[in-house]
């Protein structure tokens, strides 16, 4: 690798790779927020782009991004494929293969959890998200079924199931309408009635926080370890239906204890069956880690805090406002409470389905590795500078996932995390991004323009999070507004890139805002999940002709060809430039 980095040099065309999260090519119908924003005149830049410039259509789900057929793509998977320039087979596929060839049932980590319970006559706790079918973004109910089969084969006498209900990647009431009965039927089919029982139910908003809201993680931990929840019901169905009656759909179900559940005992085992990493980090840390520095994982990225500090100064906020409990730092109180609960778990055997973070202090069933020779690595090896830019919900995706699971910046890689210190308060702690559909788009745009005009960066990778995060709320009008904000930002950024002699690659990772309404029993219902529609890719500022179709991995060689850099042989995808 080059020992120094330089600004853009002769022979290198700068590229601004802009990823519009949750932005696909849906039908021209009422529920397509992108179409509605364009049609109504609220997104003039995008309207002109669609009218005057042909785009390539990229497959972004299923085998095109290393997922099972029919499975919708997601930000983590698709950014990794985008940066890798090849199909990266995902954890779900590796686990599926293991269940089919039988190696799942002899997996060392999973066997350790089961054998621990058999030898100590203790309880096996299975916790994870309730997802299935084409909404298997974080976990798969079929993997839970395989774990139950392992428990049956081992003749375990006590299995506690802890359900994290979804409502975001699946429809808002999928747990009560589809997956709970499927789980109950499987328990009966396996002859585990009275042995395998659902003991807690809570929404992913609490159990799977990824925004360092440690009070939420602590709430989930109390329910799981101490049997201390907000409600107690006789059955899991009672818990879910009571939540629906209170207008709280799957994502927001409050921690509910089922029956006489008292908590996790010393000597028990826990298997966390989620395979996607980002939303498994905090709860796993609460179970497994004692080093406070580990909990402050979102403060470790190089240049992240410089970016935050810049925004705070611009907005007139004193730096002293940034203190424990704000933007990544765990408070003394939450850390102490988590550690006191951990003291109750001596002898616990904890297994993570995949490696949620480097240095995980637990067993991992299906370990992951870094993907070599990604776009970021190629740019770094050429001695060029690059920038990764995003708001809080997608920062991990343009950094670690785009770099093939590498969390450390490459030589010459700068990072800016755009934060608005008022956003959480204005969106009910991130639950209601429809209340502020612009999110941090304008802050990101300011930073993008400064970076472009500096002529320092050969590559800028920028994710606009709005289409996905507002799309997940199911609020069509807010999603239309989100698209209009993005259009206004692009109207400033794209001409600036072209004036500076660069090229814009404007694309998306997967759909969401393009499909905001679904038909259910003849009725229109809000959709909060991703779509499987193709995403667009435009190249602006370079006189090139694009292929009509392609896939997400094709973005990497396209970017490198535009820059004038060599494409590694390991990038088996094809450039879209023809």
Active site members:
75
Distance CA 465, CA 462 (A): 10
**Residue 384's closest CA among 565, 191, 183, 237?**
565
Tokens of 247: 């207008």
**Residue 50 CA: distances (Å) to CA of 43, 56, 477, 562:** 11, 11, 21, 22
Residue 342, CB-side half-sphere exposure with 13 Å CA sphere: 17
How far is 142 from 162, CA to CA, in rounded Å? 15
Quick one: which of 395, 441, 205, 391 has its CA closest to 300? 395
Closest by Cα among 198, 158, 191 to 175: 198
Structure tokens at 78: 């698709």
Q: Do 283 and 83 meet the contact criterion of CB atoms below 8 Å apart?
A: no
Q: Closest Cα to residue 278, out of 357, 188, 206?
A: 357
Q: Give the contacts of 445 (CB within 8 A, at least 6 positions apart).
A: 489, 492, 493
Helix axes 236-245, 180-189, angle to 10 degrees: 170
Farthest-apart Cα atoms in the chain, separation:
71
Distance CA 364, CA 288 (A): 12
Question: How would you label 341-353 residue by residue, b for 16+ Cβ within 10 Å and e otherwise?
Answer: bbeebeebbbbbb
How many Å apart are CA 504 and CA 537, to the nearest integer? 10
> Would you say the C-alpha torsion 403, 406, 410, 415 has a positive or negative sign?
positive
CB of 206 closer than 8 Å to CB of 167 = no
Question: What is d(CA 570, CA 551) in angstroms, rounded to the nearest whole number?
Answer: 16
The span from the CA of 214 to the CA of 333, in Å, is 10
């Amino acid at each position: 690798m080059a020992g120094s980095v330089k600004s853009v040099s002769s022979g290198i065309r700068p590229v601004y790779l802009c990823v519009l999260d949750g932005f696909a090519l849906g039908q021209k119908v009422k529920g397509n927020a992108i179409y509605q924003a364009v049609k109504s005149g609220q997104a003039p830049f995008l309207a002109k782009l669609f009218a005057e410039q042909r785009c390539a259509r990229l497959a972004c789900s299923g085998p095109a991004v290393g997922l099972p057929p029919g499975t919708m793509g997601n930000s983590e998977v698709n950014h990794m494929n985008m940066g890798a320039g090849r199909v990266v087979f995902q954890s779900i596929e590796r686990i599926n293969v293991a269940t089919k060839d039988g190696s799942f049932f002899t997996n060392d980590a999973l066997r350790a959890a089961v054998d621990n319970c058999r030898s100590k006559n203790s309880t096996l706790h299975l916790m994870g998200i309730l997802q299935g079918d084409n909404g298997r973004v974080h976990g798969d109910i079929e993997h839970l079924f395989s774990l139950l089969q392992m428990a049956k084969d081992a003749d375990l006498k006590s299995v506690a199931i802890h359900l994290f209900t979804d409502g975001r990647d699946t429809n808002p009431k999928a747990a009560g309408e589809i997956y709970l009965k499927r789980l109950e039927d499987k328990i009966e089919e396996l002859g585990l009635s009275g042995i395998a029982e659902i003991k807690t139910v809570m929404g992913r908003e609490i159990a799977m926080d990824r925004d360092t809201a440690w009070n939420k993680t602590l709430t989930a931990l109390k329910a799981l370890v101490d049997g201390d929840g907000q409600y107690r019901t006789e059955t899991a169905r009672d818990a879910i239906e009571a939540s629906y009656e209170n207008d709280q759909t799957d994502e927001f179900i409050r921690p509910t204890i089922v029956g006489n559940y008292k908590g996790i005992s010393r000597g028990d085992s826990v298997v966390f069956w989620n395979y996607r990493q980002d939303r498994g980090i905090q709860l796993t840390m609460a179970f497994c880690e004692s080093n406070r520095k580990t909990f402050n994982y979102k403060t470790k990225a190089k240049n992240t805090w410089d970016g935050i500090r810049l925004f705070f100064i611009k907005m007139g906020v004193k730096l002293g406002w940034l203190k424990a409990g704000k933007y990544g730092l765990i408070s003394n109180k939450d850390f102490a409470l988590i550690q006191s609960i951990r003291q109750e778990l001596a002898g616990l055997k904890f297994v993570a389905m995949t490696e949620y973070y480097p240095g995980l202090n637990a067993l991992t069933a299906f370990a992951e590795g870094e993907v070599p020779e990604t776009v970021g690595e190629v740019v770094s090896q050429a001695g060029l500078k690059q920038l990764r830019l995003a708001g809080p919900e997608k920062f991990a995706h343009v950094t670690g996932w785009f770099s093939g699971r590498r969390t450390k910046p490459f030589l010459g890689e700068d990072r800016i995390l755009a934060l608005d210190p008022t956003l959480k308060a204005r969106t009910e702690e991130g639950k209601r991004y429809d209340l502020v559909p612009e999110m941090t788009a304008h802050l990101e745009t300011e930073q993008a323009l400064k970076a472009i005009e500096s002529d320092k960066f050969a590559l800028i990778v920028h994710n606009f999070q709005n289409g996905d995060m507002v799309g997940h709320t199911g609020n069509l009008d807010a999603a239309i507004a989100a698209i209009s904000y993005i259009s206004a930002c692009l109207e400033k950024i794209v001409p600036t890139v072209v004036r500076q002699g660069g090229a814009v690659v404007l694309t998306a990772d997967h759909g969401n805002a393009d499909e905001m309404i679904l038909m259910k029993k003849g009725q229109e219902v809000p959709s909060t999940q991703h779509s499987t529609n193709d995403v667009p890719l435009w190249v602006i500022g370079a006189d090139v002709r694009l292929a009509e179709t392609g896939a997400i991995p094709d973005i990497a060689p396209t970017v490198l060809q535009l820059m004038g850099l060599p494409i590694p042989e390991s990038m088996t995808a094809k450039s879209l430039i023809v």
